[in-house]
Chains A and B, each alone.
Chain A
Amino acid sequence: MDFTYTILIPLIPLAVFLILGINALKIKENVAGIVGVAGLLTSTILSYYTAFQYFFKVGKVDGVYQTFVEQTRWMNFTDTLHIDMGVLIDPISVMMLVVVSTISLMVHLYSRGYMHGDQGFTRFFAYLSLFSFSMYGLVLATNLFQIYIFWELVGVSSFLLIGYYYTKPSAVAASKKAFIVTRFADFGFLMGILMIGYYTGTFDFMSLNNPTALQDLTSPIMQHAGITFMGFSVITTALVLIFVGGAGKSAMFPLHIWLPDAMEGPTPVSALIHAATMVVAGVYLVARLFPMFYFVEGGIALEVVAYVGGFSSLIAAVIALTQHDIKRVLAFSTMSQIGYMMMALGISGYGDVEGLGFTASMFHLFTHAMFKALLFLGAGSVIHAVHSNVLQDMGGLRKYMPITNITFLIAALAIAGVPPFAGFFSKDEILAAAYESNQLLFWVEWVVAGLTAFYMFRLYFGIFWGKDTVYKHAPHESPLSMTLPLMFLAVISAIAGFVPFSQFISPDLVGYTTHIHMNIAAMSVGVGVLGIAIAWIMYKKESDIADRVSSAFGFLYQWTFKKFYIDELYLFITREIIFKRIAQPFAWFDKKVVDGTMNLIGNSTVDASKKIKGLQSGKVQDYAFAFVSGVVIIVMVFIYFMN
Chain B
Amino acid sequence: MVVFAIASVTSRMILRSVVYLLFVLCAIAGFYFLIDYNYLAAIQLTVYAGGIIVLFIFSVLLIHHIESKLEVASLGRRILVGLASLVGAGLTLSVIWAHPFTVAENSARSTEVRDIGTGMLSYGDGGYILPFEVISILLLAAMIGAIIVAKGTRLTIKD
Q: Are chains A and B touching in the complex at the 8 Å CB cutoff? A: yes
Q: Which A residues lie at the B interface, using CB under 8 A?
A: 625, 628-629, 631-632, 635-636, 639
Distance in angstroms between the alpha carbons of A632 and B87 in the assembled complex:
8
Q: Is B95 an interface residue (CB 8 A)?
A: yes
Can you show 15 pairs from A to B with CB atoms below 8 A apart? A625-B81, A625-B84, A628-B84, A628-B85, A628-B88, A629-B84, A631-B88, A632-B84, A632-B87, A632-B88, A632-B91, A635-B91, A636-B91, A639-B91, A639-B95
B87 nearest in chain A by CB position: A632
**Contacting residues, chain B, for A628 (C-beta < 8 A):** 84-85, 88
Contacts of B85 in A (CB 8 A): 628
Chain B residues in 8 Å Cβ range of A635: 91
Q: Which residues of A contact B95 (CB under 8 A)?
A: 639
Q: How far is the CB of B85 from chain A (nearest CB, A)?
A: 8
Per the bound structure, the CA–CA distance linking A628 and B87 in Å amounts to: 11
Interface string of B54-85 (1 = CB under 8 A from A): 00000000000000000000000000010011
Which B residue's beta carbon lies closest to that of A639?
A: B95
Q: Which of under 10, 10 to 19, 20 to 34, or 35 or more describes the interface residues of B?
A: under 10
The chain B residue sitting closest to A625, CB to CB, is B81
How far in angstroms is the closest Cβ of chain A from B81? 6
Nearest Cβ distance between residue B44 and chain A, in whole angstroms? Answer: 26
A625 to B91 CA separation, bound complex (whole angstroms) = 17
Which residues of B sit under 8 angstroms from A625, Cβ to Cβ? 81, 84
A639–B93 CA distance with the chains assembled, in angstroms:
13
Smallest CB separation, B159 vs chain A (Å): 37
A635 to chain B: closest residue by CB: B91
Contacts of A632 in B (CB 8 A): 84, 87-88, 91
Chain A residues within 8 Å of B84, by CB: 625, 628-629, 632
**Known pairs A628-B88, A635-B91 / 13 extra A-B pairs, C-beta < 8 Å:** A625-B81, A625-B84, A628-B84, A628-B85, A629-B84, A631-B88, A632-B84, A632-B87, A632-B88, A632-B91, A636-B91, A639-B91, A639-B95
Interface set, chain B 80-105, CB cutoff 8 A to A: 81, 84-85, 87-88, 91, 95
Once bound together, how far apart are the Cα atoms of A61 and B85, in whole Å? Answer: 103
Closest partner residue, chain A, to B73 (CB atom): A621
Residues of chain A contacted by B87 (CB below 8 angstroms):
632
A628 to B: closest C-beta gap in Å: 7
Complex alpha-carbon distance, A635 and B88, angstroms = 9
A285 to B81: give the CA distance in the assembly, Å.
84
CB distance from A491 to the nearest CB of B (A): 101
Which residues of the partner chain B approach A639 to less than 8 Å between Cβ atoms?
91, 95
Within the complex, the shortest CB–CB distance from A614 to chain B, in Å, comes to 14
**How far, in Å, is A627 (CB) from chain B's closest CB?**
11
In the complex, A628 Cα to B95 Cα: how many Å?
17
6 closest A-B pairs (Cβ-Cβ)? A632-B88, A629-B84, A636-B91, A632-B91, A632-B87, A635-B91
Tell me, rounded to whole Å, the shortest Cβ–Cβ distance linking B69 to chain A. Answer: 20
Give the shortest distance, in Å, between B96 (CB) and chain A (any CB).
12
B73 to chain A, nearest CB (A): 8
CA separation between A631 and B89, bound complex, in Å? 12
Q: How far is the CA of A629 from the CA of B87 in the complex (A)?
A: 9
| Chain A hits for B88, CB < 8 A | 628, 631-632
- Which B residues touch A629, using CB under 8 A? 84
Min CB distance B78 to A, Å, is 12
| Alpha-carbon distance between A635 and B85 when the two chains are bound, in angstroms | 14
In the complex, what residues of A have CB within 8 A of residue B81's CB?
625
Instruction: Give, as a whole number of angstroms, the nearest-CB distance from A100 to chain B.
Output: 85
Tell me how far the C-beta of B114 lies from the nearest C-beta in chain A, rounded to whole angstroms.
Answer: 40
Q: How far is the CA of A625 from the CA of B85 in the complex (A)?
A: 10
Chain B nearest CB: distance from A633 CB in Å? 9
Question: Bound state CA distance, A631 and B88, in angstroms?
Answer: 9
Q: How far is the CA of A214 from the CA of B98 in the complex (A)?
A: 95
Task: Please report the C-alpha to C-alpha distance between residue A635 and residue B89 in the assembled complex, in whole angstroms.
Answer: 12
Q: Which of chain A's residues has its CB closest to B84's CB? A: A629
List residues of chain B with CB within 8 A of the CB of A636: 91
CA distance A543 to B115 in the complex (A): 145
A355 to B149: give the CA distance in the assembly, Å: 110
Compute how far the CA of A628 lies from the CA of B84 in the bound complex, rounded to whole angstroms: 8
Task: Tell me the minimal C-beta distance from A94 to chain B in angstroms.
Answer: 91
Instruction: For the complex, give the distance between the alpha carbons of A628 and B81 in Å.
Output: 10
Taken together as a complex, chains A and B put the C-alpha atoms of A77 and B67 apart, in Å, by: 88
* C-alpha gap A631/B87 in the complex (Å): 12
